[in-house]
């Protein structure tokens, strides 16, 4: 099976757990995901199968949308509700307008320090492994882009938010830093990812739904239509002659697409056979050819 599907990841599973579950369901080894979610988080987890695992290179810098809840009053060592408190709990009632003003200061390009318990590597070792050994971590800040960060509502010591951020942004760090700015401490209480690139929560299916589709032989109904992948690249339906050349890795002429930097090349309506790069004028060379 060569396909992309969007799983609504449940809480309590790692992204790798989901990949392993899908592997067993569909009976094939070549399965991956497009962007890790923390075990406690839920929501959009795009899964790539078969030859289409090679599409992952186009999604390394994908924007993401989130909804979640931040709890104020104390910090934790993981920056979320799974960790141990690292500050004395305070009784706080947060003000909506004050929170919105503080959240606005995080908009745009900022430098963010990843959480100690994260997959960020230090000298080749994931930070979470060093943190578990009680090692003192010196994590370097990274530049991220917070395109949108809005406090929607408050309820006692907690606030609901929505956000649109660049790849590499840690929502746990954003919650932690907001609490630090307010002087009361905070951590991420809940998180749900609602979009990765073109994949939205409306497209997502539960693992149970996928399992039912596999048993009923209706998997095509739950996968993303190949022509909806990488919408920034035009779709080209190749003739039989062009298909043969592309499968040989040879360049082809596409007169109607001379302004496109890349195109998706299809055999028929659903069989994505290549992503081709424009060389010059109307000449395109297949950068990726998906094996038959």
Catalytic positions, please? 38
Tell me whether strands 186-196 and 42-49 are parallel, antiparallel or unpaired: parallel
Around Cβ 239, how many Cβ atoms within 10 Å? 10
Using CA atoms, how far apart are residues 206 and 7, in angstroms rounded to an integer?
6
Q: Which residues of 61-70 are buried (b: 16+ CB within 10 A; e: fewer)?
A: ebebbbbbbb
Give the per-residue SS3 of the chain: CCEEEEEEECCCCCHHHHHHHHHHHHCCCCEEECCCCCCCCEEEEEEEEHHHHHHHHHHCCCCEEEEEEEEECCCECCCECCCCECCCCCCCCCCHHHHHHHHHCCCEEEEECCCCCCCCEECCEEHHHHHHCCCCCCCCCEEEEEEEEEEEEEECCEEEEEEEECCCCCHHHHHHHHHHHHCCCEEEEEEEEEEECCEEHHHCECHHHHHHHHHHCCHHHCECCHHHCCCCCCEEECCHHHHHHHHCCCCEECHHHCCCCEEEEEECCCEEEEEEEEEECCEEEEEEECCC
Distances (CA, A) of 178 to 49, 79, 155, 170: 38, 11, 17, 13
């Amino acid at each position: 099976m060569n396909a992309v599907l969007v799983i609504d990841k449940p809480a309590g599973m790692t992204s790798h757990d989901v990949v392993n579950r899908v592997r067993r369901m569909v009976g094939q080894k070549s399965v991956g995901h497009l962007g890790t979610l923390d075990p406690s988080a839920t929501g959009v987890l795009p899964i790539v199968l078969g030859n289409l695992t090679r599409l992952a290179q186009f999604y390394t810098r994908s924007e993401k949308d989130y909804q979640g809840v931040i709890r104020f009053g104390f910090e934790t060592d993981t920056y979320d509700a799974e960790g141990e408190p690292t500050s004395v709990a305070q009784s706080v009632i947060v003000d909506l307008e004050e929170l919105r003003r503080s959240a606005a200061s995080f908009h745009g390009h900022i430098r963010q320090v990843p959480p100690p318990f994260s997959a960020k590597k230090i000298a080749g070792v994931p930070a979470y492994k060093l943190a578990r050994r009680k090692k003192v971590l010196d994590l370097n800040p990274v530049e991220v882009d917070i395109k949108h960060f809005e406090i929607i509502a408050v309820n006692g010591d907690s606030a609901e938010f929505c956000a649109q951020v660049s790849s590499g942004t840690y929502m746990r760090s954003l919650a932690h830093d907001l609490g630090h700015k307010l002087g009361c401490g905070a951590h991420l209480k809940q998180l749900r990812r609602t979009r990765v690139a073109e994949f939205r929560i409306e497209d997502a299916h539960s693992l149970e739904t996928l399992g039912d589709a596999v048993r009923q032989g209706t998997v095509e109904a739950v996968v993303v239509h190949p022509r909806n992948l990488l919408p920034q690249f035009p779709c080209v339906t190749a003739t039989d002659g062009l298909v043969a050349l592309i499968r040989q890795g040879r360049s082809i002429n596409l007169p109607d697409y001379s302004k496109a930097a890349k195109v998706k090349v299809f055999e028929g309506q659903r069989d994505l056979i290549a992503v081709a790069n424009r060389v010059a004028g109307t000449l395109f060379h297949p950068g990726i050819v998906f094996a038959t």
